Amino acid sequence: MSDTTLRSRTRSLNTAIVAAGTLASRLLGVVKARAIASAFGSGMAADAINFAYNMPNNLRKLFAEGSMSTAFLPFYERADEQEKGRLLGSLIVFQTLLMVPIAVFAYLFRFSIIALLSGFTDPSQISLAGSLLGPFMAFLFLISLCSSAQTALQCKRLFLVQAVAPLLFSLSVILSVSLLTPAWGAWSMAFGTVLGSLLQTAAVLLRLKRSGLKIRLSLGFTKGPFLDVLKAWIPASASCLLAVLSQQFAFSIASTMPSGTVTAFSNSLIFWQTPYGIFFTAVGTVFFPDLASSSGIDKARHLAEGSRKLFTYLVPSAIIVFALRKETVCSVLQSGSFTLKASLLTAQALSWYLGGMIIVALNSFLQRLCFASNMYWTSLALSLLSTAVDIASTLVMAKLGLGIITFPIATILSSLASLVLTYFLVVRKTLKEFSLLRWIKGLARPALASLCLGAIAAAYMALDLRWHESGSSMINLIKLAGCYLASLLIVLGLFKAFRIEILPRARAD
């Protein structure tokens, strides 16, 4: 077996490991969404909770998994062991000095911030959202530190713990909301969020300590490799800030729509990010270090292999979830104060997000290529374009009265514009070894398998079954699980028929 084949199969195995761990995390995330929906419904209180939580959750793109980790990873990947300890220590100190003042500011002006950024007019709704902003900002600080440690594990090719650790977060929120809401109200969500992020961070740091890396805390921000990290972080953080502002703008527009729109919008993102997060996280996590450490034909090979895997996994996933979107939302969320109407509104937004899933994923993967190639300013320019398209599309469609589907359509349009430009400005100009025609030919078998799956899904939807409308119950959850199990078996059968490899073979042929 050649070294190239061995490395490819190792990446496939690591991708499967991360996907499996992320699958468990995402499924538990859906259970978390159900617990929150059942406890708080879809009215004014739920909108306040979701709005306050999504503010720091969006800022994760700026201080955690987004700009900070993408700017940090390429330099960390190329450093020796001693430099890695200093780099990570400098990053942890830098994040602490940056995040603490932000958290204090958000706490002091919490009510004014909510009133300014939301469309809420009810003083009690503003008061509830503002009171929760403080603990949610503590969650942001902890998850930022967790992300830094995860980046170090990623470069060591230790992927399992960062896929499994989020389970601790979801379990904490589920148990807190389920057990404490009758006595604590919305504060049960705040408690579970802080405790869960603390447990997740501790688990990742303990694994990093076991890996043998010695973290050396340092204030040396203006010299050595960390200065290069900061220089890269400026455009990278600006790119992520644009994404945060775009997302926050969408939530602000949603808050001016009929009651329940914010919650439906938020929940549709949770369901969409379940398949998206499983496979994009797996592929992006495994391939990013290799993209950062390679050049020329090797980088082109990594780009082609990773993007093909995204197509192979995400297109069938989108087809399955689209066919089962109403069944999924109703069976999971429709209980307690969460009604059938709220479930169908969530499913409506979800259907559009699923239609553009592969576009969003390929665009995000090409952005990883920009970061891996130290093309941060190019990425920033593309982000400016994407944000402009997103905001303009949102304003136009909201004014036209398209309602909740405004947001997924705007996301698809902005991602498509960025994807096309990134290919022509980055891939074609800087990575001439990459062949688009060869890449498309490599998609023949996954595309044919997806077409067959789409035909089966269309036949199922033509039956127009309504069993899910009775809401969440054990029997409906069993039916839903059976539908997904049958879908998985069909996909596996199609993959086998079209000779699409899922897991690497143990031995060479």
Tens digits of per-residue pLDDT, 297-339?
Answer: 999 999 999 999 999 999 999 999 999 999 999 998 888 778 8
* Helices vs. strands in the chain: H and E counts, helices first: 21, 0
Pairwise pLDDT comparison (41 vs 497), residue with the higher score: 497
Average pLDDT, the chain: 86
Which regions of 204-333 does DSSP assign to beta strands (E)?
none
- pLDDT-derived band of residue 4, with 50, 70 and 90 as boundaries? low
Lowest mean pLDDT among 118-127, 152-161, 302-311: 152-161
- pLDDT-derived band of residue 444, with 50, 70 and 90 as boundaries? very high
The pLDDT score that the predictor gives to residue 505 is 44
| Statement: residue 3 has pLDDT above 60 | no
Q: Provide the percentage of residues in the chain whose pLDDT is more than 70.
A: 93
Q: Label residues 23-59 b or e (16+ Cβ within 10 Å = b).
A: bbbbebbbbbbbbbbbbbbbbbbbbbbbbbbbbbbbb
Q: What is the DSSP letter of 435?
A: -
Distance CA 349, CA 261 (A): 10
The pLDDT score that the predictor gives to residue 2 is 55
Lowest mean pLDDT among 44-58, 124-138, 395-409, 454-468: 44-58
Cβ–Cβ under 8 Å, residues 80 and 298: no
Dump pLDDT digits (tens) for 249-271.
Answer: 998 899 889 888 888 898 898 88
Dump pLDDT digits (tens) for 358-410.
Answer: 999 999 999 889 888 888 889 889 989 999 999 999 999 999 999 999 999 99
The mean per-residue pLDDT over the stretch 197-211 comes to 89
Pairwise pLDDT comparison (63 vs 136), residue with the higher score: 136
- pLDDT-derived band of residue 424, with 50, 70 and 90 as boundaries? very high
Specify the pTM. 0.75
| Statement: residue 157 has pLDDT above 80 | no
Residue in 176, 484, 179, 470 with CA at minimum distance from that of residue 335: 470
Distance CA 197, CA 377 (A): 32
- pLDDT-derived band of residue 12, with 50, 70 and 90 as boundaries? low
Pairwise pLDDT comparison (217 vs 404), residue with the higher score: 404
Cα–Cα distances in angstroms (integers) from residue 341 to residues 206, 337, 365, in the given order: 45, 11, 36
The pLDDT score that the predictor gives to residue 506 is 39
The pLDDT score that the predictor gives to residue 299 is 92
The mean per-residue pLDDT over the stretch 415-434 comes to 93
The mean per-residue pLDDT over the stretch 166-174 comes to 90
Dump pLDDT digits (tens) for 28-76.
Answer: 877 887 788 778 876 788 888 888 888 887 777 666 566 677 777 777 8
